[in-house]
Amino acid sequence: MVLKKLTRIDYRFSQKIRLPSTRPTLRRAAALFAHSADSWFWLAGLIVLYPLASPNLKSILLKLTIGILVTAVFVLFLKMTIKRPRPEGEWGKIYRTTDPHSFPSGHAARAAMLSLLVFLLGPAWLGGVMVLWSLLVAAARIALGVHYLSDILAGAGIGLLFGWGVYIITG
């Protein structure tokens, strides 16, 4: 009974913060943030930066790459196990086609994991920027209707856990 009540609250809250199609400028901005945490984007960027980086920066880039990969595998396992359908909607056809499951949010997990690692490994100001970015990514995913709030919260929690784990294990 409690779970059903929480699910209804989750659905209602998520629906309330969705951006209507009558707000195209906000939807474009949200789409930019929603896509900015795509794993392919981050992996491509890390691969491009690696040969140009100093040895210390190479170590950080490697840790970020490991974090992306292990987080993605765990999130995918959970999605295939839980199989919660995404919210109804039009935006995000590629996500709806290639990954029809919403729980937990891989984008929120990746953004939180990257933000924590950058905060721990890089300059504090960049960590702060990353935290703000991850919050915008999370909000955009709900606002565009590809996730519920609970998907985002679970994803962020997983991301923080895996970010901390990568930080501890890789020294």
How many other CB atoms are there within 10 angstroms of residue 19's CB atom? Answer: 21
Domain ranges of the chain: 2-17+24-170
Q: What is the pLDDT of residue 140?
A: 95
> Which of 70, 35, 74 minimizes the C-alpha distance to 62?
70
How many other CB atoms are there within 10 angstroms of residue 87's CB atom? Answer: 19
- Report whether 71 contacts 104 (CB < 8 A): no
pLDDT tens digits, 110-137: 999 999 999 999 899 999 999 999 999 9
Q: State the helix-helix crossing angle for 39-49 and 106-121, rounded to 10 degrees.
A: 30
pLDDT tens digits, 9-44: 888 888 888 888 888 899 999 999 999 999 999 999
